[in-house]
Amino acid sequence: MRKVLSFFILTISLCFIIASCDDKHDGYPEEPGTDEPDIDEPVEQTAFWEHTHLAFMGLKGSVSHITERSYSLVEDAEEEPVVFFEARFNEDGMLTAYNSTGVEMQPETRGNVWISPSCYAYEYDGDGKMSKIIVNTVGEIPVEYTLKYGEHTNYVPLIFPVGPMEYFLVKGLESITSSDRTIQYVFNGTEASYASETWMGQVETVFQYEPESVYPIRKTATTTLEGVVQVTETTRYTYDERGGLVSADYKAEDGEGRVTERTIIRYYENSLLLLKSKATDAYGTTMDWNYTYDADNLPMKSEFVMGKNSENEVNDEEYYEYLTFDGQGNWTDSKQKQSSFINETHQDGEVGVCRIFSYYKKND
């Protein structure tokens, strides 16, 4: 049974980060709504996608490096700490490296590239725009993606994660080209598109825009094998007046047009991508997640339910207690009850989680 649950969770995680949703299902999740945000404190009025990566990750001060690890709360335990993620930032607060694999970053072996599975390195030009990303996967040659910009004002999605943000927009992007020549991503003024090869077949991905919007309203990914459509995935996005992402509505259909999965993700308004809720119906199995935060936007509780109101209903939750903070206001030690249903990288049970920070020194 657990293997089946893990399969569903892994499938769902292809959409976005895990969170949760409404407690009512009628077949598939209902359409995204416009609920009033539960977090009332507004962020400063900077264009939404122009905030620093530190701000999106909820970090304060001039962080240069952070490592987050879990450890056993049992005295004299022999378990090794588990690394959740490690990240580095430049002095502008933008990510230069991110690793969430649980494998320690290794010494530099090729320029600014760390050799580690699914480890990302980011580079920037003189204007502070992301100009290159290097993706490292164990056993494979690192792949470099080169970004080029134009004069247009549209916000174009990146095709790789930026730290923990799976969906991220950058202004003025015109193209992304991979060093192995497998990816040529181009924005032509009305849509951004690229083709890629997977074990399922060839995937054509298109982000579409409406004439009056600078943000993409729809993503369509069509997988074909020998000319036959295998899967069509469609995601519809809604934004607030600042361009902040409000909801993402994902639907997967098989080659015969049957809906196999529907997932709706909602974000708190007046926040920087804080997940509010997620609801999924995959092959008739419903799953819901729900996140709550404190006044400082720190996660307080996450809830999970599968098969709500059925005789096989499954429930689980996570909760978080913050024990210490450093002089910059970042928490450094916490006690957490974790669940692999909430986050597949987490353990099941109570653990301690610590964060080690390094900061840039201020110039006198």
Per-residue pLDDT tens digits for 247-283: 999 999 999 999 999 999 999 988 999 999 999 999 9
Please check whether residues 84 and 232 belong to one and the same domain: no
b/e sequence 121-153, b meaning 16+ C-beta within 10 Å:
bbbbeeeeebbbbbbbeeeeebbbbebebeeee
Distance from C-alpha of 149 to C-alpha of 155, rounded to nearest angstrom:
11
When the pLDDT of each residue in the chain is averaged and rounded to a whole number, the result is 85
Local structure of 306: helix, strand or coil: strand
**Residue 211 counted as domain residue:** no
pLDDT the model gives residue 103: 55
pLDDT the model gives residue 17: 35
**Backbone phi and psi for residue 236, each to the nearest 5 degrees, phi listed first:** -105, 135
Distance from C-alpha of 95 to C-alpha of 88, rounded to nearest angstrom:
6
**Residue 195 counted as domain residue:** no
Place of tokens 């934004």: 239
Q: Which residues of the chain have pLDDT under 70?
A: 1-45, 75-80, 102-117, 363-364
Please check whether residues 126 and 67 belong to one and the same domain: yes
**Residue 232 counted as domain residue:** yes
Local structure of 252: helix, strand or coil: strand
pLDDT the model gives residue 270: 87
pLDDT the model gives residue 114: 38
Please check whether residues 38 and 54 belong to one and the same domain: no
Please check whether residues 294 and 236 belong to one and the same domain: yes
**Number of domains observed in the structure of the chain:** 2
Identify the burial level of 26 via C-beta atoms within 10 angstroms of its C-beta, where 0-12 means exposed, 13-18 middle and 19 or more buried.
exposed
Please check whether residues 55 and 146 belong to one and the same domain: yes
Distance from C-alpha of 142 to C-alpha of 221, rounded to nearest angstrom:
25
**Adjacent-strand bridge partners of 280:** 263, 287
**pTM of the prediction?**
0.82
Please check whether residues 76 and 163 belong to one and the same domain: yes
Please check whether residues 100 and 169 belong to one and the same domain: yes
The structure tokens listed for 45 are 């009025």
Please check whether residues 176 and 276 belong to one and the same domain: no
